[in-house]
């Protein structure tokens, strides 16, 4: 089952676009982590920490999905 998605005129498989979102999420998580370390305000620090944890959960869910997709579309593995 290969689902094809069109994005910007380039054919992108689902696995590729999920990976791209995953990369974006990872970037945002890293930024949040930096903020949680440098925030001066306790409340803000707490919120940043909490959201970083939630981000980690979301990321691990997506990683799981990417693994399944790669199994389904082995020709795109590693992109």
Partner 1 sequence: MQNWIEILLRSTVLFITIFVLIKIIGKRNVARMSAFNFVNYGIIAIITALISVKIIENIAVGVVALAVWLFIPIILDYLALKSKLAHNWIHGRELILIKNGKVLEDNLKLARLTGEDLLKELRSREVFSLMNVEFALMEPSGEINLLLKSDKLPITPGHLGVKVNPQTSPQTVILDGNIINESLSNLGLNISWLMNQLESTGVTLDNVFIGQVDSSGDLYLDLFDDLIQLPQPTVREMLCASLEKCQADLTTFAFETQDSEAKEMYSKNVQRLEELIRKLRPYLTR
Interface with partner 1 includes 39 (CB under 8 A)?
yes
To partner 1, the closest distance from the beta carbon of 10 in angstroms equals: 16
Can you tell me whether residue 2 is helix, strand or coil? coil
How many residues in total does the chain contain? 79
39: phi then psi, degrees, rounded to nearest 5? -65, 135
Measured distance CA(75)–CA(68) in Å, rounded: 13
| Residues binding partner 1 (CB under 8 A) | 1, 3, 5, 14, 17-18, 20-21, 24-25, 27-28, 31-32, 35, 38-41, 43-44, 47-48, 50-51, 54-55, 57-58, 61-62, 64-65, 68
């Amino acid at each position: 089952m290969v689902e094809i998605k069109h994005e910007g005129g380039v054919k992108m498989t689902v696995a590729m676009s999920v990976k791209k979102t995953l990369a974006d999420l990872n970037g945002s998580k890293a930024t949040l982590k930096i903020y949680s370390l440098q925030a001066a305000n306790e409340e803000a620090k707490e919120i940043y920490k909490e959201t970083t944890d939630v981000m980690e959960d979301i990321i691990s869910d997506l990683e799981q999905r990417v693994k399944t997709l790669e199994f389904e579309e082995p020709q795109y593995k590693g992109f």
